[in-house]
């Protein structure tokens, strides 16, 4: 016996928006290393409350947290870069931050497609 999730129109619209936001975050991440992710970030903040009480809410929070942690690690890398001695370490920090952000975007996107919340 299989279980089927029935999505109402409002939930489907919020899910579709989150899907597009993942794509925009991903495109920004690939083409500008996340420099233009502030655009979908603003939409995440504005639309998150509309998804309250649904699994989509966790996806908005996931994208918001991913953005701010990525920014924090980029700043840490920049501080290391400025020290000149820390340049190799800065490159490592930036590389790990890039991989981590790529993982977060892919994990969230796949969970959204499976109608599952992301872990909080």
Q: What is the pLDDT, as a whole number, of residue 6?
A: 58
For range 87-107, the mean pLDDT = 96
Q: What is the pLDDT, as a whole number, of residue 118?
A: 95
Interatomic CA distance for residues 26 and 50, integer angstroms: 22
Q: What is the pLDDT, as a whole number, of residue 34?
A: 83
Does pTM top 0.85 for this prediction? yes
Interatomic CA distance for residues 103 and 62, integer angstroms: 12
Q: What is the pLDDT, as a whole number, of residue 5?
A: 58
């Amino acid at each position: 016996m299989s279980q089927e999730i029935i999505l109402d129109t409002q939930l489907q619209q919020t899910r579709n928006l989150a899907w597009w936001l993942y794509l925009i975050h991903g495109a920004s991440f690939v083409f500008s290393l996340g420099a233009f992710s502030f655009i979908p970030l603003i939409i995440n903040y504005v639309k998150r409350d509309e998804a309250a009480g649904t699994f989509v809410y966790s996806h908005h929070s996931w994208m918001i947290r991913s953005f701010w942690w990525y920014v924090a690690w980029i700043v840490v890398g920049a501080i290391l870069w400025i020290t000149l001695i820390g340049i190799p370490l800065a490159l490592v920090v930036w590389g790990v931050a890039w991989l981590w952000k790529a993982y977060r975007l892919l994990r969230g996107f796949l969970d959204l497609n499976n109608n599952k919340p992301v872990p909080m």
